[in-house]
């Protein structure tokens, strides 16, 4: 999944870096239980996917407020990615 942030195209990557950043921020492992968890994980995926991007959580929330459809796109991408990874592991 690609999204445009600050005029830069970012390809989202689901990996250990994003999971570790999430754990550092939230103090627990990622579980998709509510909007806070999903949005925080989305932010972690974004900042983990593009190391040179300076993008605060507050800026992220502003972006989501302006483009709420991104949440649905991210959720679908995340579901597909997790399913694909589970298939590969099996």
Average pLDDT (36-55) is 93
* Per-residue model confidence (pLDDT) at position 32: 82
Average pLDDT of every residue of the chain: 90
Residue 84 has, within 13 A of its CA and on its CB side, a CA count of 8
* In the chain, % of residues over pLDDT 70: 96
Domain coordinates in residue numbering, the chain: 2-56+66-89
Q: What is the pTM of this model?
A: 0.88
Checking if the pLDDT of 12 tops 60, the result is: yes
Checking if the pLDDT of 58 tops 80, the result is: yes
For residues 53 and 6, is the Cβ–Cβ distance under 8 A? Answer: yes
For residues 44 and 22, is the Cβ–Cβ distance under 8 A? Answer: yes
* Per-residue model confidence (pLDDT) at position 88: 57
> How many CB atoms are located within 10 Å of the residue 45 CB?
25
Checking if the pLDDT of 89 tops 70, the result is: no
* Per-residue model confidence (pLDDT) at position 85: 72
Contact residues for 26 (Cβ-Cβ < 8 A; gap 6+): 37, 40
């Amino acid at each position: 999944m690609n999204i445009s942030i600050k005029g830069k195209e970012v390809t989202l990557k689901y990996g250990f870096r994003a999971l570790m950043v999430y754990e550092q921020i939230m103090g627990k492992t990622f579980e998709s239980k509510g909007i806070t968890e999903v949005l925080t994980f989305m932010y972690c995926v974004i900042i983990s996917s593009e190391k040179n991007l300076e993008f605060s959580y507050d800026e992220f929330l502003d972006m989501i407020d302006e483009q709420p459809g991104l949440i649905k796109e991210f959720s679908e991408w995340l579901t597909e990615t997790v399913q694909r990874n589970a298939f590969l592991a099996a």
